[in-house]
Structure 1
Amino acid sequence: MCVGVPAKVIQKHEYQALVDVMGSQTTVGIIFIPDVEVGNYVIVHAGQAMSIIDEQFALESVNEWRKLIDARNS
């Protein structure tokens, strides 16, 4: 099973972008979505941004991820 996480693009470079994933920043590849812009939300899997997603969907997904994390930590 493959799982992608939502992330917000903070900076864009030629083939990479700095993204925020639930408060942590990391660099991901953007070769699959070269038209991504700063401020877009993307799905990240295995170090690559796979697709641009709607902001509302991204925020709802982050909320669900937080529920899973909280449940695991209780």
Structure 2
Amino acid sequence: MCLAVPGKVVSVEGESDLLRMGKVDFGGVLKEICLTYVPEAGVGDYVIVHAGFAISTLDQEAAGQVFEYLGQMNASGETEGEADDEREEREGLHDHRR
């Protein structure tokens, strides 16, 4: 599954729209991202990033909603992992060497 993730632009480098790069903050993790597809993006803007390319911009409210949704997915993923452990235990598939 592919996932595009929002991040906040913290710096922009490059004068040309053909090769515009920037540093984007993903919850404290900074990554260098190609901003060529979103020439309107500037410092402080939120962008949706897929495979190292910013593919669209979004406003702060929409970004907050996405962050909230991702947090819920993360929380449910932890619950699913615990449920998988319980199912494996019942079915005798649990790796007791852990």
> Which TM-score applies when normalising by structure 2?
0.69
1:7 aligns with 2:12: no
Q: Percent identity?
A: 31
Q: Choose the corresponding residue for 1:44, options 37, 45, 49.
A: 49
- How far apart, CA to CA, are the structure 2 residues paired with 1:66 and 1:11? 25
Deviation at 1:2, TM superposition (A): 3.8
Deviation at 1:23, TM superposition (A): 2.4
User: Which protein is richer in helix relative to its size?
Assistant: 2
1:24 aligns with 2:26: no
User: Which protein is richer in strand relative to its size?
Assistant: 1
Q: Choose the corresponding residue for 2:68, options 45, 58, 63.
A: 63
- How far apart, CA to CA, are the structure 1 residues paired with 2:3 and 2:52? 12
| Cα displacement string for residues 17-67 of structure 1 (whole angstroms, at most 9, x for unaligned residues) | 101112211111011012211000010011000111111000110111111
> Which TM-score applies when normalising by structure 1?
0.88
Q: Which ranges of structure 1 fall in alignment gaps of 5 or more residues?
A: none
Q: Which ranges of structure 2 fall in alignment gaps of 5 or more residues?
A: 15-19, 80-98
Q: Which has the larger radius of gyration?
A: 2
